[in-house]
Amino acid sequence: MKKSMTLSYEVGENLYINITNQCSCNCTFCIRKNDDGAYGSDPLWLEHEPSMAEMQENLKQRDLSRYQELVFCGYGEPTMRLDFACELAEWIKSTYPGVCLRLNTNGLADIYSPSQKGSAANLVSAVFDKVSVSLNGGDAETYLRVTNPKHCPENAYATMLRFAQSCKQNGLDTCFTVVDVISPDEIKLAQEVADTLGIPLHVRNYIS
């Protein structure tokens, strides 16, 4: 496993932000199983988790107005450092007004990284413009098979749905994703769940 301090990397018109390699799941489709980077990036395994000063210094080297979105994603689950992610997002918003911030998340922060400051949905809604939540299945059985949450699996699916619903209710631009490692029937069921909640669903192709 190659390590580096790649704290941000470009994907198309967007800049991806890499704040942690921790994750509370072990998804069957996780890109981390296949490579040390993503979309041609340098290795995304971090030598250490970046401090706020390191993140700010990295972002100051870039012209953030060039990007359509800044995406908190990286090689791990950004909400494993929920308070850090929100604090960094707040700094970006105040330093670079007009930048669009998206969070890609498994929606499980209330289980794995609860904050003293409030629910994950409320904290995220206060600073991000968009959130993309990994739905990964139209029922708990499919969800667990695909995502393999490390603890409290019995609460994971409901927690993820509640997080997405709360973000939407807070007015955050919210979408779901599934990866096409599940069957067409399972994707159809996921679509029905997304439709019931009034949240758009994006079906992503598996990258081998």
What is the binding site for ligand SF4 (CB under 6 A)? 23, 25-27, 30, 32, 76-77, 106
Q: Find the shortest distance in angstroms from Cβ 45 to ligand SF4.
A: 12
What is each CA distance from 9 to 2, 95, 101, in whole angstroms? Answer: 16, 20, 15
The residue (of 71 and 99) whose beta carbon lies closer to ligand SF4 is 71
Contact (CB, 8 A) for 44 and 6: yes
| In the complex, minimum distance from the CB of residue 23 to ligand SF4, in angstroms, rounded to a whole number | 3
Nearer to ligand SF4 by Cβ, of 152 and 169: the residue is 152
CB of residue 131 to ligand SF4, shortest distance in Å:
14
Furthest CA-CA distance within the chain: 47
CB of 102 to ligand SF4, least distance (A): 15
- Rounded to a whole number of angstroms, the minimum distance from the CB of residue 134 to ligand SF4 is 6
When the beta carbons of 50 and 76 are compared against ligand SF4, the nearer one is 76
Q: Is 196 exposed, middle or buried (0-12, 13-18, 19+ CB in 10 A)?
A: exposed
- Which CB sits closer to ligand SF4, 105 or 125? 105
Contact 72, 85 (CB under 8 A): yes
C-alpha–C-alpha distance, residues 6 and 41, integer Å: 8
CB within 8 Å of 7: residues ≥ 6 apart: 17, 18, 19, 46, 50, 54, 55, 58
Closest to ligand SF4 by CB, 23 or 161? 23
Query: CB of 38: closest distance to ligand SF4 in angstroms?
Result: 10
15 vs 178 by CB, closer to ligand SF4: 178
For residues 110-132, b (16+ Cβ closer than 10 Å) or e, as one string?
bbbbeeeeebbbebbbebbbbbb
